[in-house]
Structure 1
């Protein structure tokens, strides 16, 4: 225990950790502040925090790191530690956003539909990406973000995947590429649904189902749903949260699949080391606790759960900003094109499928 505390103390108690923690916290608050305004609301707090992190890496390198190799290594390690550890904490706290009473009563019809949507979208997006020549790691991250819930899904799935030390930097870069792609696709398709949805003649309920079933981020579904009236907004949120719930099962299944088919990490005995995403269990536990609190304490419980969700977004915003600080722009430009095309093609198919579902079942 003493060795453990000494080891982690040396990584945490550094000037670079203090600098990066302050910078990422400010970036997270900037994201939460800007998301209130039109245009920025479509991006959402997490994507804004990522963009801030990508921007501030330049003054950090110019004014703080310079030619100091110790500071450079410290900044990279601090950003990596924040993005890795706060990701898990943020995902767990995000579980308080899921009201299971709502999902298993009003949203009961949406749950099996969400399971089908997520399964087909992840498989189809991955297949298209691999066909286009995208690496397996980036392909599955883009597939998860497209099929489930955008940036949070990318980060959760990435946190579940077991890679060797030599691939950790590649994994970090792929996270940013995948997050950028699903953010772009989310905004594009949110605008498409906002503009053309009312012209289709479908009901507000049907348009809400389409928004919740097809859009990438929770922010996207909420933004489109808010323009559809009370019924449309409710259905958009329920459908989207149904997909978010699938994140738990998807992350576990993808982690096991990746370890068996892609990971080359082995133990000393030569056996494959499988990492189980325990933080996803924490996500479910948090959602259960939040549901109970809301059921027992009513509005007071809802306010408490909302407070924890706000903390979750602060923590996740810090993790996103830390990712941005370490992003390699050359890799982003080199690897993004084919993966972006894969997500675009899959998003078209996803939208068409959700329109069909809305017409048939709602």
Structure 2
């Protein structure tokens, strides 16, 4: 693979796209979408612009969307401060577990009510329930979902995350929550890390810290969900389920980043590298999307996920308001 000319072409294109998306995501109006979603959109635009020229590199872009994703998730472990989670986030970890369990079940049932096929229902449920695009891609590689299903799920999560971020920021003056309470509310109810940061930041420093802590607690649940999927698939299929080594790597990097003192100063750079690789994977995914399928399936998934996201927002507000 690494000796093929097409691989280097794909690598260069997706690397440039990921870097552009990373820097554009820092702009005020693009922060809500985030680096990964922008990389996906740029990849889709490239497919429209270049059309047949991308067919020769399709195999190598598929390799990047799969393998680079896994390496990116492993390195993303450096973003998760295990010591801080265990010292300050005991309640948020329990809350994150309950939110993810509730949201995955609710969204999956709604998707089935809307007659959405199983793999897409799982992807949408995990994207809304855990941590947006990264969760969709992590779960997608585990269940071997179709490219178009992954794109539909990522697109829906991105749209709804942005909509509900704007709603929660607009509602802030009327929620009657403390800064920390508002931050916990946003981190618990919004899908992407970028959304939690944007909404939490609107409440000040304490709100932002609480939002990030709550959101990272939900990110940790990605480990639990993917391991559960691996066990379920192994017990219910004749086909041997792939071991999610990348999730074990994510856990290992989380502990190394938290407790190996010499590596702590390098953590921000390793997290940036993780997002570059994840952005490359998203760009490669966008370059392989089937727009016809996106149009056919997107509406029903959007409807199901909107209902579950609205219920989640109300539930999280009530929990933070009256139980915390």
Give the alignment's TM-score, normalised by structure 2.
0.96
User: Contact 1:160/1:252 (CA < 8 Å) preserved in 2?
Assistant: no
Cα offset for 1:361? 2.9
- The counterpart of 1:235, out of the listed 210, 226, 230, is 210
> Aligned pair 1:90/2:72, yes or no?
yes
In the alignment, what sits opposite 2:241?
Answer: 274
Cα offset for 1:260? 4.6
Q: Which runs of 4+ in 1 moved over 3 A?
A: 258-261
Cα offset for 1:284? 0.2
Cα offset for 1:360? 2.5
In the alignment, what sits opposite 1:358?
Answer: 320
User: Contact 1:159/1:277 (CA < 8 Å) preserved in 2?
Assistant: no
> Aligned pair 1:101/2:83, yes or no?
yes
CA distance in 1, matches of 2:174, 2:264: 36
**Greater Cα shift, 140-149 or 273-282:** 273-282
Q: Which runs of 5+ in 1 are unaligned?
A: 1-10, 66-71, 264-270
Give the alignment's TM-score, normalised by structure 1.
0.87
User: Contact 2:233/2:241 (CA < 8 Å) preserved in 1?
Assistant: no
Cα offset for 1:192? 0.4
Q: Deviations over 1:240-289 (max 9, x none)?
A: 0000001100111123334555x6xxxxxxx3322221110000000000
For the structure 1 residues 326 and 248, does the alpha-carbon distance in structure 2 shift closer, same or farther, using more than 3 Å as the test? same
User: Contact 2:139/2:226 (CA < 8 Å) preserved in 1?
Assistant: yes
- The counterpart of 1:328, out of the listed 290, 301, 314, is 290
User: Contact 2:136/2:150 (CA < 8 Å) preserved in 1?
Assistant: yes
**Any residues of structure 2 matched to 1:11-160 within 5 Å, and which?**
11-62=1-52, 64=53, 72=55, 74-160=56-142
CA distance in 1, matches of 2:239, 2:274: 33
CA distance in 1, matches of 2:267, 2:182: 28
Q: Which runs of 5+ in 2 are unaligned?
A: none
Q: Deviations over 1:149-197 (max 9, x none)?
A: 0000001111111x4xxxx6xx111011100000001000000011112
In the alignment, what sits opposite 2:277?
Answer: 315
Q: Deviations over 1:93-132 (max 9, x none)?
A: 0000000111001111111111000011001100110111
**Any residues of structure 2 matched to 1:202-213 within 5 Å, and which?**
202-213=177-188
CA distance in 2, matches of 1:220, 1:193: 10
Q: Deviations over 1:283-306 (max 9, x none)?
A: 00000000013xx35xxx443101
Which SS does the other structure have where 1:12 is aligned? Answer: coil
Alignment length (residue pairs): 324
CA distance in 2, matches of 1:203, 1:215: 18
CA distance in 1, matches of 2:119, 2:138: 13
